[in-house]
Homo-oligomer: A and B are copies of this chain.
């Protein structure tokens, strides 16, 4: 826990084609942590569209961000375009040198492309889980993984759980509990279909088919980056 009177700079990275709830789930929590400045940073200050079309505008461009205490990196298929974007990757590396990093979903792949995952225990969306090895990370199949100063949330809505864990780490359990109460976060999923382990086989098969193209593209990118980073990926029977 950080002393309550220490002001914190929190920033989320926003980019074209992100999965909006990777940002907006955590936003609901992060924007309510006391004694913080929380802003959304884009590569430019221009509006972007999420993967399904929601239009969100950043507060400022990354070039205008201060050194952050907490850096939140969401995911979504738009992550592909950032994987070899040296401006964004340089910024992430510079920020991560001092900030706690909170990665959600395939935000982990962006962090990996910046060379920041080597030797870390990490997680990401189930469909990209096997790609973590390309970045030298140890994949951990848990919804939230804490590795030192880093917090990883698995896919999409897990960012809400990760953000509450982060709020507790930063400001103590009671602050996080208060935010949870405000958000009325006592989830009641109508089905038990939220993970590959629990979803009905036919639903899982259909979902894998739907993301197959995306996953193949992500894997090709990950392979290219692994070569650049000099990472030798063990040929797993995964």
List chain A positions with a Cβ less than 8 A from chain B: 19-21, 24-25, 27-28, 31-32, 38, 40, 47, 52-59, 105, 125-126, 143-144, 154-158, 160-161, 164-165, 168, 173-174, 176-178, 180-196, 198-200, 202-204, 206-207, 210-211
Residues of B near A27 (CB, < 8 A) are: 20-21, 52, 54
Give bound CA distance, A165 to B177, whole Å: 26
In the complex, residue of chain B having the shortest beta-carbon distance to the beta carbon of A163 = B190
Residues of B near A57 (CB, < 8 A) are: 47, 55-57
Residues of B near A125 (CB, < 8 A) are: 184
Of B24, B126, B164, B173, which is within 8 A of A21 by CB? B24
Among the interface residues A165, A192, A203, which one has the most CB atoms of the partner chain B within 10 A? A203
Identify 9 residue pairs between A and B in the complex whose beta-carbon atoms are under 8 Å apart, listed by A's number: A28-B157, A32-B52, A144-B190, A156-B183, A157-B160, A160-B187, A174-B202, A177-B193, A186-B195
B156 touching A28, Cβ below 8 Å: yes
A77 CB, nearest partner CB in chain B, Å = 12
Residues of B near A165 (CB, < 8 A) are: 190
Of B25, B155, B180, which is within 8 A of A194 by CB? B180
Of B56, B59, B193, B199, which is within 8 A of A56 by CB? B56
In the complex, residue of chain B having the shortest beta-carbon distance to the beta carbon of A200 = B177
A8 CB, nearest partner CB in chain B, Å = 16
Among the interface residues A55, A157, A180, A186, which one has the most CB atoms of the partner chain B within 10 A? A186
In the complex, residue of chain B having the shortest beta-carbon distance to the beta carbon of A30 = B52
Of B56, B178, B202, B211, which is within 8 A of A54 by CB? B56
A179 CB, nearest partner CB in chain B, Å = 9
A165 CB, nearest partner CB in chain B, Å = 5
Residues of B near A59 (CB, < 8 A) are: 53, 55
A130 CB, nearest partner CB in chain B, Å = 15
B207 touching A182, Cβ below 8 Å: yes
Residues of B near A24 (CB, < 8 A) are: 20-21, 24-25, 54
